[in-house]
Every structure is written in C-alpha cells, then in structure tokens.
Chain A
Amino acid sequence: MPKIEVNERQFFDLLGRVRDAASLEEVLPGAKAELDGWDLAGGKPGDSGASERVIKIELNDTNRPDLWSTAGLARQLRVLDGAPVPEYSFFSREGDERAAKYTVKVESSVAKVRPYMAAFVISGKPISDAMLRDAIQTQEKLCWNFGRKRRSVSMGLYRTALISWPVAYKAVDPDSVSFVPLGMDAPLTLRRALAAHPKGKEYGFILEGEPSHPLLVDATGKVLSYPPIINSNDLGAVQVGDSDLLVELTGTDLQAVTLSASIVACDFADAGYEIQPVAIEYPEPTAFGRRVVFPYYFQKPVALDSSRASKLLGKSLSPDAILEALAKAGVTADVHGQFIQAFPPEYRNDFLHAVDVVEDVMIGRGMADFPPERPRDFTIGRLHPNEKISRKAKNLMVGLGYQEMIYNYLGSGRDYVERMGVDPEGVVRISNPMTESVEYVRPSILPSLLGSEAASARAPYPHRIFETGKVAFRDSSENYGVATRQRLGFLAAHAEANYNEAASVVAALFYYLGEDWSIEESDDGRFIPGRQARLMRKGTSVGVFGELHPRVLENWGVTVPAVAGEIDIESFA
C-alpha cells in the first residue's frame, strides 16, 4: 500500500477548497485513501503555514497509480466533489497524432534489455519546490510499486536547454562508456557506477547478467542517464527554478510505461504546466506503431450491460443513472440502448472487466445509496470434521487434567530437528526464511510441547499440557510432496511421570472416542526403548506415546521426567 506526502498548500489549491481533518477523512474513502497523519503544528488547515506542511495519506488501491500523487489524488476528490471531468488535449491517439518538436530514436540494441520508452516535455513556467518534490515522490511510488522496483518502469527528469536533439536510446557495453552519475564528481564506467553509486547498488540487480546496458545520450553523445539506475550529473541534475524539463520513462512493459507517462503528464497539466509531445521512433513496430508520439492514449472503451450493474449492485439503475454516477467518479461514457460504453480516463488503465466499471458506479453514487439487505438464501452451517474431532479430543484432555496450549507452526531446525534427533529429510524447510528461528514447519507437536516445558521450569508442577493443531511433513505420495495433518499432542512432566500415566491417558482417550485400537512395540528414538508404544487403529499406525528419552530432555534442558504422546486425530474424523 503506497503512502504519500502531499504539500498542504498545493493539495488544497488543486482541490479548489480547504478541508479540515474530519472533512478529509470523510471524502478520502472515495479515492480508497486514508488520512495517515497531518501535523498542523498549531496552525489551521490552509493558513499561511500550509506551504510548509505536509499531509500524509495512505492509498489502498494498488491498481490506481494515478492516485499516488498530489495532483492525482486531488483530481479524484475534486471530481467526486462535483468538478467536471478534466480534458487533456495533448494526448495523441491512434490516427490522431499531435505535432512533436522533439524526437528520441530507439536503437534495436535495447530490444533485449529494456525495449520501451515514453517521453514528453513540460514547459510554461519554472518548476516549483513543491512540484519538484511531488514529481520525485511520484517517480518513487510509480516506479517502486507500479513499476516493480523500476524493473518494468523507471523515470528520469532532464534540463531540455542542455540537450541537443534528437536523443538516442541504445544499449552499450557497460565497460565501454563513462559518465558522471548524479551526485558524484568523476566519470565512472557503467559497471563501476553499479558498484559505486548507491542507486547502482540498489537497482543493479535489474541488469544482472545483461551483456549490454541501456543508455540515453543526446545528439552530441552527452549522457542523459543510465536507465533504470541513475541520471547524469549535468543534463540529469534538475533544480527548483528550471523550466522546460524532459520527462522520460523506460521499461519492459509498453502499456505500463505509457500509462506512467500519461499520469505524470496529467499531474503537471493540472498544476498549470504546458505539455509538449515527444516522438519516439522505434526500429521495429510496437503495439502502438513504429513512431509513437507521447503522451499517448491507448486505453480501449469498456462495454457494460446496465442490467449487470443493477444485478451486482442490488439496485435497479437506468443507463442514464449509470452515466451520471460514472461522471461523478471521473469516467466519461455514452449510452447505447441498455449498454454503456465507458472510456477510461487518460491516467487510468484499471478497467480490465465490466465489473471494474461497476465499482466506479458504486463510488459515484456513494455507499449510502446501497442499504444493507438481509441475505435470503437458506444454507446449513456445519463445522469441519477436523474441528469436530478436535473439540471431542480437547474436552477429554481437559477432563484428564491437561491444559490446552496454542503454538506457532514455524520454528528453527535446532528445535524441530536437532533437539528431537529426527531425520531432517522428512521436515518441510523454507528456502527464504527471514530468520533461522522460522526456517521450518513443524513436523510434530512434540517439539512445541517440549519448548513449553523448557520455558516453564519455574511453573509449579505437575505440568500437563496438550495441543490439537496441524503439522506438515514430507510425503512423496502427495501432489505437493507434503502432507498436512490434524493431530493431538500431549505431555506430562513431573517427578513421578512414567509410561503408565501416558498409557492411561491414551486408553481413556480411545475409550471415549469409541475407537478400537491396539498397541505395538515401537522404536522411536525420541522415547526410551521398551517404554514406548505405537498406536494402531484398523491396521495403521495413528500415533506414538511413551517416556521421553533423557537425551531429548537434555537437549531441551528439561530436568524433570516427562511422558508424551501424539495422535493423528484427523484419521478419526
């Protein structure tokens, strides 16, 4: 979930009104957003200190990157508040191209590493501090969340005045080209920049193993940037007060790159900047053509059957009512009989299906328009057999004097394997554990119970504890190679604990569960030889119990005798 900071003054200017916290909290859900923090520092919303303050906002919709900026969020709220859906005349469309003063030539060498690019120029006024900050924040949120940590989209800003056109986008041998990366003072080869620059360390993984690396250079060969890693220290060093900035995005997903460019362009346009198109010339045709002038509108209209909307929302809505609701949510549409054709706004591409349009209808009308309705379908509720058998077993264990415990299912190899002396082959191991303490899934409840015993030496004795819960272990007969089972585990620890006590518990359990059972000799290393038994039911082993081996107790630092048992109760369910 992206969190953004918006400049209070800029936000309210774009919103067209000042709101206090309560009023903001009321309208933010319309953008699936929440107020995350707003330190007024003793001032009042929108007062003279507003340009120095920020409002923190959390955005919940990971498929609406257009909301992750001051201008984008303000736009959504403005429209919901009744403002007209904005129009952006600088977009080119299929068969309707805007004139482009600037050109970038894409060379075929980037096709394998990072094939796509979009760009435009913002002009008309110098960039303000708030706008530059917001642009940098937008770049971070867009490229991190939507652009998958810059893998599919990254972005750069440049001073157009220093650039000789046309610009070339190509891939080069990372050892053959040097430039001064942003924030440094000496030229480095691309490969050195990866190792030496903080951004190189952070994003170098994207280019790992690539023989040629992307590079953006102007007509005189000066480096603009090394996408997706870092800008150059001259053309790519943008400061407050600069005007005529080139905004460029590269990536591996043409639609994501194009949409990101559209979002940034609309944000600047809302803030009063003029957007000048840039033509990108590809060596081969792309899905949008060989020569594409950006910003480019590529989205397709989505058809919605008004009866589907009515059915999903539980409220009969006419096509015109739907049209009106969509306009309120910022979506233009037209009516064809009972169908509505919705046109995704330039900065959105989240209409995958007609149901996505239905949600905008819901938002446009407001939640209050949909009173909750009691469900009418009759269905019979029931517990899962595992839960039923577990409850039976729990009641019996409580009657036998045992305290129920509830444990975590992840643990260390030390606890689940080494201390128990079991074969690690049978235990499910995690390949990317966050720490060693959560590297394995428990194959048995016994280590959990022993962990309790080890941690509870100061609790008055006797200790009689149990758990019903799940274990998982390797089982090659399963499609996943792993079996999950519902089990009961128990442990008694006190000075007189012995085999007979465990045997009595097992006998009582099976008697009241109404199960026929028998025991066989067992040679489980966790128990003392000759003082353990395997539980048999209908010819299969369903558990084991006995006196825990002193070696195991010693491994756990337990210094009182203990007996334990574990039964697969799922097989009774």
Chain B
Amino acid sequence: MDARALAKSLHPLETKVLLRYGPGDELGNARLAAELGYKEGQSNQAFSWLGAKGLVEEAGRTTRVVYELTPLGRELAEKGTGEERLLRRVAENGPAALPELAAALGLEQKDIGSAFGQLSKEGILAMGEGKKATLASGKASPRMEAVRALLERAAKTVDGILGDESLSAPEREAMAGIARKRGAGDSAFRAAERETIVYRLSANAPEAAAALRELGVTGDEIGALTAAMLESGSWKDGTFRPYNVGVQPARLMPGRLNPYGEFLASVKDKLVSLGFEEFDGSLVETEFWNSDALFMPQFHSARDIHDVYRLAEPTSAKFIEEPYLSQVASAHENGGATGSRGWSYAFDREFTKRLILRSQGTVLSARALTRAAVPSKYFGIARCFRYDKVDATHLSDFYQTEGIVVGEDVNLRTLLGFLEMFAREVAGAKEVKYVPGYFPFTEPSVEVHIKHPVLGWFELGGAGIFRPEVTEPLGVKVPVLAWGMGIDRMALMALGLNDLRELFSDDVEAVRLRRASFSV
C-alpha cells in the first residue's frame, strides 16, 4: 500500500498520533491521555491499529506500582476519614467520651479507638478528665494532610488511579498506611502492579504523516453524522472523514425465498401464461383414482406392493364416486361403452378402494376430467411418492409436473405443438424431437426429447392422447391430451446442484447460501 492509500485508511485516533509525534518520542497511554485527551481504551486501539500497519513499534515495557481508590476510599474522600471526623467533632462540640463519639459519628467502637490512638500519638488529641477525648494541638498532622491530598487527587482522576511515581515522599509514606495489596475492602486504596508498554513511531511513520498533511487530514473530521449535527448545522463547519470502502462488509441474513421454490413458481407462471389452470389435490389417494381410472389393469406390475405405499390405517376409502366406479370397472372388464375389449379380468371393487400415497400426478388429471369444461387446460406440480431407495437420482417423495388439454379438435399434431411450446418456453430448448412412446393411459403416446444448451439431448417428458377407456368412463367425450414433464434435471442445473436430495435440503446454511440462475 502506498503512503497515500495508507493515510486514507487511517482512523482519526491514529491520525492524531502520527501528526503530533515524531521519531524518538516515547509514547504511552498516560502521554496520549495527557496530550491528546485519549481514554485508555482509545490509546490501546490507536497503538493496536498503528502497530498492525507497521507505523508504531514497541520500545519497551515498564512495570509500575499503582494505587486504585476503592469504593471505601471514594467515600472517605467525600465524607472524611475517621480521624478527620473525630478531630472535627471534638473541635466543634467539645470533649466527649469515646463511646459517645462513636455513636454520634456512626463509627464502630474499634475504629474510634484506633483513630483516637493515632491522633493521641501524634499529639493532636488527648484523654482528658472523665475519660473524655479533648483537643491537644488540635491541628492535623502532615501525615493527615498527605492522606487527604491522596484521596482528593485520586477521586478527581477518571479511573481513581494514582501512579507510585507521582507520589511525594511523605505521600508515599502515608499511602503505605492506607493501601493494601489484597483484601483491600477495608482500605482506601488497592495497591497493584501494572505493566506499561512504551511505543515509538516506526521509520515509515513520517511518510504517512506527510501524506496525511498533504491530504489535509487532521483527525478532527466528522465521523458518524448525527441527528444533533443535522439539527444544529454543525456539520457545515467540518469535513467528513472518508471511510475505507474496501472493508469487507458485515454479513446480513435476509429473509429469502428458496431457489427451488422460485424455480417451481417460474414453471407454474409459464404454464399459466400458456393458458393452463392449476389443479391440486390430496396426498392420499385410492387405487381407483391413482391407477384404475387411468386404465392401468389391477394386475399391472407397476401396481405391486413394491411400487406404491399403502396406508396402514385406514386401509380403504369409504366409497368411490359413482357413476365413475361402475363405468371404470366395465372399461377394465370388457371395455364397457368405450368400444374397447377391456383387459378381460374381474375388476376388484375392494382393491380399488385401497388407500395409497399418490404415485403419479396423473391422478389429478383423472379427477380434473370429471369436471373439465370444453375447451380447458389444466396443470399441476404435484408431490408424488414412490417405493424407491433414496439416492442422488431417486427420491421417495418428489414433484411431478403434468397436465391435460381438453378440446374438440385436439389431436396428435396439436399435442406435438404443445410439447414444442414447453420445450422452447419452459425448458429453453432450441432443438426438439419426438419418438413413439408408451404409457398405459395414452394412445398414441410420444416422448419429447430436447437438446438443452448445457445438458445435451435428454427426455423432457412424455405425452399422448388419453385412451377412450380413460376419458369416456369419466364423462368426457372429446379427445384429451395428457402430458408430463421431468423438470428435476433442469432444477438441479438451475441451482448448480447434482443431487436430487439437495432440492429438499434441511441444512439452513446451505439453503441460505444457495444461489440460482434460471431464465424461465
């Protein structure tokens, strides 16, 4: 750092030291207190900061004895010592017996005893007639004067401390009588040893001081702008101390949305802008709505106990809505009125009531069909549950994005048109391709693959036209396009993650620090 930059980074406490002193000056807290008016804490800060910048160095250490006024000492300074009060009482009210004096002055018997002993020894008081204390010389001794001087001097300092070096010989002698090192509660002063560091400006300090002068910095610039300054207008007479703007700011912990939530919301907004209405539903579903209504035969391998979660209690719904139950059951058994030959098995009306955790978002599409207007479009980002071992690429609960388009004139080509819109608008893909697919509830079925700018080719989703065995038993006579999108991979990329479990992280710090970049 050059001298000018260094000068700019200085605090007023440092500035004043650099401007005031030159090489060879011995600096310490006492000197700064006396000459710059620094409190001990300010001096310590100034030396510490200057030291960190290499502008002062330690020149040596000295140990000094100090005397610190105790609370008792402070009281004595104010009200007078026992001896002073005894002398004053006798001088003002005449001779009196010691117990009498103790009561009048509110002092303990032994304290009166020792005070009288000391004064009598010094010929100030004497024991007169009738065991009454009477004036002798009646004049305070030099020792008493020294004690008074010590108490008053100490009481006037900010910290109540007197350095041994500041005492005269009689004072030092007097101090010995009223200070103690330990158990000083009963004494006026506590005696202690203090280490004092002596500093000297280092060789590069003059350069910094020169830079300060050149900048016109005095150390008296305005720091924090206060309401009082604004009110009085005093700021007009000063200049503002420049702050070091390079300092690392303190960390804030703001309230914040979860980036994964923001990502999901952005997908929802996109779909709403394309004319889709959002649907929502129960986490717990029946086999009927989860699979039967979607024309998945009850013996389908994806319906095994190892593929869906079943409820322990209750195990079954009370009922399945009619006429859907009967119509779906016929579609399975022999096609019913749908023109299908059905799956040719006996539909199990108890199994269909069994409660499970919904395993596919398509259940919401099936339910939407029972109330869908023509034309209409629906979508949902639904939490689904799968019997899967949880790892970086599999979760046992996760979001699926799906929807339907109901309309007289929808067909394979409009389906592809939608998929192209999703690919371009939602996934930001430039290239799209379609291949035949298979889903139990759609025919024809297609898969859409996109070339993502970063991920390369991958399957964005599957889609198809709902089979008549799905739509007709639920009361829909027009074609229905059904689609599903896998947006997890896009979410991971948007959040800079590579493990699906991170999307549902319970780590507060990880979520607080997570950043997201996505354009949808």
- Which A residues are within 8 Å of any B CB, using their own CB? 29-30, 32, 60-64, 145, 148, 152, 253, 255, 300, 311-315, 352-356, 358-359, 362-363, 367, 370-384, 386-387, 391, 394, 397-410, 428-434, 438, 441, 448, 451-453, 455-456, 458-460, 462-465, 470, 472, 474, 479-482, 484, 486
Contacts and interface: CB of A to CB of B under 8 A. Distances in A.
B509 interface: yes
B310 A430 contact: yes
A480 B255 contact: no
A431 B312 contact: yes
Given A452-B508, A484-B282, A410 B417 contact: no
Contacts of A458: 509
Contacts of A314: 411-414
Contacts of A403: 253, 255-256, 258, 508, 511-512
Contact of A452 (B275, B383, B421, B506): B506
Nearest to A394: B257
Contacts of B272: 381-383
Contacts of A410: 385, 396-397
B504 A406 contact: yes
A459 B312 contact: no
A452 B251 CA distance: 21
A432 B507 contact: no
B175 interface: no
B397 A60 contact: no
A230 to B, nearest CB: 22
Interface string B407-438: 10111111011111100000000000111111
Nearest to A481: B314
A394 B268 CA distance: 16
Interface in B438-460: 438, 440, 443-447
Contacts of B318: 479-481
A379 B277 contact: yes
B261 interface: yes
B310 A432 contact: yes
Contact of A352 (B274, B340, B417, B506): B340
B339 A354 contact: yes
A113 to B, nearest CB: 18
Interface stretch (B100-108, B205-213, B239-247, B462-470): B462-470
Nearest to B258: A404
A63 to B, nearest CB: 7
A373 B417 CA distance: 5
A358 B444 contact: yes
B82 to A, nearest CB: 48
A22 B282 CA distance: 45
A480 B355 contact: yes
A431 B504 CA distance: 24
A484 B440 contact: no
B30 to A, nearest CB: 39
Contacts of A452: 506-508
Given A353-B467, A460-B509, A32 B417 contact: no
A402 B479 CA distance: 46
Interface residues of B, number: 106
Interface in B80-136: none
A399 B311 CA distance: 39
Given A470-B383, A482-B311, A375 B268 contact: no
A455 B436 contact: no
Interface of B: 251, 253-258, 260-261, 265, 268, 271-286, 299-302, 305-306, 309-315, 317-319, 335, 338-345, 355, 357, 375-377, 380, 383, 385, 387-390, 395-397, 405, 407, 409-414, 416-421, 433-438, 440, 443-447, 465, 467-469, 479, 503-504, 506-509, 511-512
18 contacts: A353-B469, A370-B413, A372-B420, A373-B417, A374-B414, A381-B275, A387-B268, A398-B256, A398-B257, A402-B255, A403-B258, A410-B397, A434-B388, A434-B396, A438-B397, A455-B506, A460-B251, A480-B318
A32 B464 CA distance: 14
Given A61-B438, A432-B310, A353 B280 contact: no
Contact of B253 (A359, A384, A460): A460
Contacts of A356: 443
Contact of B284 (A352, A372, A472): A472
B419 A383 contact: no
Given A313-B413, A484-B284, 5 more contacts: A353-B443, A398-B255, A403-B511, A463-B508, A481-B355
Given A60-B437, A355-B467, A398-B255, A384 B278 contact: yes
B343 to A, nearest CB: 7
Contacts of A480: 282, 284-286, 314, 317-318, 355
A370 B435 CA distance: 11
B280 A386 contact: yes
B253 A381 contact: no
A48 B421 CA distance: 47
A406 B440 contact: no
A465 B261 CA distance: 14
Contact of A430 (B311, B467, B468): B311
B444 A355 contact: yes
A451 B405 contact: no
Contacts of B385: 409-410
The 8 closest A-B pairs by CB, nearest first: A314-B413, A314-B411, A29-B435, A459-B509, A381-B272, A372-B416, A456-B508, A359-B444
A384 B280 contact: yes
A428 B284 contact: yes
B506 A373 contact: no
Contacts of A382: 272, 277-278
A238 to B, nearest CB: 28
The residue among A61, A353, A398 with the most chain B CB atoms within 10 A of its own CB is A353
Contacts of A481: 314, 317-318, 355
Contact of B375 (A377, A386, A428, A432): A377
A148 B299 contact: yes
B506 A311 contact: no
A397 B258 CA distance: 12
Contacts of B436: 29-30, 32, 359, 362-363, 367
Nearest to A491: B508
Contacts of B265: 391
Contacts of A387: 268, 278, 280
Contact of B412 (A64, A152, A312, A465): A312
B424 to A, nearest CB: 11
Nearest to A300: B341
Contacts of B405: 375, 377
Given A404-B257, A404-B258, A482-B355, A429 B311 contact: yes
A434 B504 contact: no
B506 A152 contact: no
Contacts of A300: 341
Contacts of B315: 431
A375 B396 CA distance: 35
A311 to B, nearest CB: 6
A32 B385 CA distance: 26
A379 B254 CA distance: 39
A220 to B, nearest CB: 38
Nearest to A463: B508
Contacts of A152: 299
Contact of A399 (B255, B275, B317, B479): B255
A557 B267 CA distance: 38
A254 to B, nearest CB: 10
A379 B340 contact: no
A484 B281 CA distance: 8
A376 B409 contact: yes
